[in-house]
Amino acid sequence: MYINQSQLTDEKQLSEASKEQAERFDVAMIGLGYIGLPTAAVIARAGLSVRGVDISERIVDLVNQGKVHIQETDLDALVKNVVTDGMLTASTEPPVADIYLIAVPTPFGEDKSPDVSMVLDAARLIAPVLPVGGCVILESTSPVGTTQQVAGVLAEMRPDLAIPGHCGDKAPDVHIAYCPERVLPGKIIEELVANDRVVGGMTKACARHAQEFYTRFVRGDCIETSAGVAEMVKLTENSFRDVNIAFANELSLVAEHMGIDVWEVIRLANRHPRVNVLQPGPGVGGHCIAVDPWFLVSSAPEQARLIRTAREVNDAKPEHVIGRLNAMLAAAPDAKIALLGLAFKPNIDDFRESPALEIAQRIASEHGGRVLVVEPYTDELPAAMAGSGAVLTTYDKAMAEAELVGVLVDHDAFRSAPRYLSAGKIVYDTRGMWAQ
Ligand code: SAJ
């Protein structure tokens, strides 16, 4: 428990308190994953002392050595610098800090309902050390109402503190806010600084306090609102994108059914000043767009009909692609197929929740030795494909051997490869990479 100086009675307590004061940090980042670690490093670069906290000792050890456990543009050099400068350290234990940021996963369960248990565990971790004047900010994508739940945990565990929403007319002792991350994997360091932030407080004073903190390292506008609005803003952003991608994916099925080139349709439709159709693909991957809309559906199942349908349209796309590739393989029984790309989107090495990987795994499990996989962002096939008979190879070799091609990811490396190498092949291009 955080010790208030005025409550100290003997020398032992005094020395413990001064040690604690010496270890007081500007910021504690709870969760050192894809968002937490880059955010911690960017804040440390801005001159604030940051203690990263993670349940994984491996991650804590790596960070303390100035190393990273994830791939993200410019992250390794940044972490090395801030750790060397002593501005970022890591531990499995939460420290006393002025600002606590929570960036832990919020997955969904079998029934697609959100699981905020890791957020609430983070609040339980913070509660014992939260000082008077401290501020807790949730950044994890969360269903509306989660920030209030965090406040509830803190109020229950710290009856000595006046917690916003739980202290009646009394002035709160701490601030609690919600500020969603909205950075794009591959551009996280850049967007952490450049993007606008929406800062939602449990009270106006909470929003103001948190907003002032973000202006220390964010160049974009930091806009104050309520916690509930900020929570829904984040879900709205990713649902908007999912619905728009679903429109493009559905359009690709409609056009395919009618024998029309969807890429040409979209290119020409987008010449209308108020039309901007997104790009169809093999499905929607990653850990955000395919998950977050369910948080809205779960909160308002009767009302969120379009959002639910968009999820279903996008989730069904990989199966359609598998069907098309299987048909190509059946029609040319002696031919090999080159599958281009495994990542969940172009130009990154992130294969988690990747529709391309799901498709390649299924095709490899059914056609093994006929499958040549090209993925410049890995040195070996993922474990699930090992033993299938599929081979990881280069673009040039795949094009020399395969008569069939399935484009699953439009990495720049594929776009810039000589087109004549794929001339004369039977191609199923889920990304429109070779569209005219
Ligand atoms: N995709 C398409 N067609 C498109 C655009 C995307 O099929 O026209 C696919 C991609 O290939 C990928 C998936 O959608 O499989 C998601 O990719 P993305 O680039 O749309 O989004 P993420 O998941 O990398 O990041 C998103 C971003 N949200 C928005 O753009 C509204 C990012 O700003 C968020 O911070 C992030 O989710 C997050 O963490 O929530």
Please say whether the beta carbons of 46 and 33 come within 8 A. Answer: no
Question: Looking at ligand 1, which residue's alpha carbon is closest to its atom 14?
Answer: 284
| pLDDT score recorded for residue 386 | 87
**Tens digits of residue pLDDT in 188-244:** 999 999 999 999 999 999 999 999 999 999 999 999 999 999 999 999 999 999 999
Where exactly are the structural domains of the chain?
22-220, 238-429
Banded pLDDT at 8 (limits 50, 70, 90): very low
Give me 367's structure tokens: 């056609």
Q: Give the mean model confidence (pLDDT) for residues 409-418.
A: 95
237-279 pLDDT, tens per residue?
Answer: 999 999 999 999 999 999 999 999 999 999 999 999 999 999 9
Taking CA atoms only, the protein residue closest to ligand 1 atom 7 is 281
- Closest ligand 1 atom to Cα of 242: 14
**Contact of 297 with 308, CB cutoff 8 Å:** yes
Q: What is the C-alpha to C-alpha distance for residues 411 and 407, in angstroms, rounded to an integer?
A: 10
Contact status, residue 203 vs residue 172, Cβ threshold 8 Å: yes
**The pLDDT of residue 401:** 97
Residue 419: pLDDT band with limits 50, 70, 90: confident
The per-residue pLDDT for 22 is 56
Ligand 1 contacts (CB < 6 A) are 141, 181-185, 237-238, 241, 245, 278-279, 281, 284-286, 288-289, 344-345
Domain 22-220 classification at class level: alpha beta
Please say if the pLDDT value at position 16 is more than 60. Answer: no
Q: What is the mean pLDDT of residues 10-35?
A: 73
pLDDT for res 1: 37
Give 144's DSSP letter. T
Name the active-site residue from 135, 206, 222, 234. Answer: 234
Q: What digits encode the pLDDT tens for the residues 235-244? A: 999 999 999 9
Q: Which CATH superfamily is domain 238-429 in?
A: NAD(P)-binding Rossmann-like Domain (3.40.50.720)
In the reported structure, the alpha carbon of residue 141 is separated from the centroid of ligand 1 by a whole-number distance in angstroms of 14
Instruction: List the structure tokens of 320.
Output: 């359609």
Measured in Å, residue 183 CA sits from the centre of ligand 1 at 10
* Best mutation site among 139, 277, 289, 411 for ligand 1 pocket (most ligand atoms within 8 Å of CB): 289
Establish whether domains 22-220 and 238-429 are of one fold. yes
Q: Mean pLDDT over all residues of the chain? A: 94
**Tens digits of per-residue pLDDT, 325-372?**
999 999 999 999 999 999 999 998 889 899 999 999 999 999 999 999
Nearest C-alpha to atom 37 of ligand 1 is from which residue? 288
Among the atoms of ligand 1, which is closest to the Cα of residue 185? 24
CA distance 359 to 366: 11
Distance 75 CA to ligand 1 centre (A): 20
Pocket test for ligand 1, best of 184, 190, 236, 352 (most atoms within 8 A of CB): 184
CA of 281 to the centre of ligand 1 (A): 12
Q: Check whether 154 has a pLDDT greater than 70.
A: yes
The verdict on whether 288 is a catalytic residue reads yes
Is the pTM above the cut of 0.75? yes
**Mean pLDDT, rounded, for 70-90:** 96
Span 272-312, pLDDT tens digits: 999 999 999 999 999 899 999 999 999 999 999 999 999 99
Predicted pLDDT at 71: 85
Please, are residues 286 and 350 in contact by the beta-carbon 8 Å criterion? yes
Considering only CA atoms, which residue is closest to atom 10 of ligand 1? 345
**What's CA 168's distance to the chain center, in Å?**
37
Q: What is the pLDDT of residue 7?
A: 45
* Active-site residue, from 135, 179, 206, 288: 288
Dist CA 21 CA 24 (whole Å): 5
The band of 3, judged by pLDDT with boundaries at 50, 70 and 90, is very low
326 Cβ partners below 8 Å, 6+ apart? 363, 366
**Which residue's entry shows tokens 């190879």?**
393
pLDDT at 59 over 90: yes
What is residue 45's predicted lDDT score, i.e. its pLDDT? Answer: 98
pLDDT tier for residue 36 given thresholds of 50, 70 and 90: very high
| Residue to probe by mutation, ligand 1, list 142, 236, 238, 266, most atoms within 8 Å of CB | 238
Ligand 1 atom nearest 284 alpha carbon: 15
The rounded Å distance from CA 83 to ligand 1 centre is 30
CA distance 304 to 253: 23
Q: Which atom of ligand 1 is nearest to the CA of 279?
A: 8
- Residues 239 and 294 sit within 8 Å (Cβ to Cβ): no
For residue 249, what pLDDT is reported? 98
Atom of ligand 1 nearest to the CA of 346: 11
Helix 355-367, helix 305-331: angle, nearest 10:
30
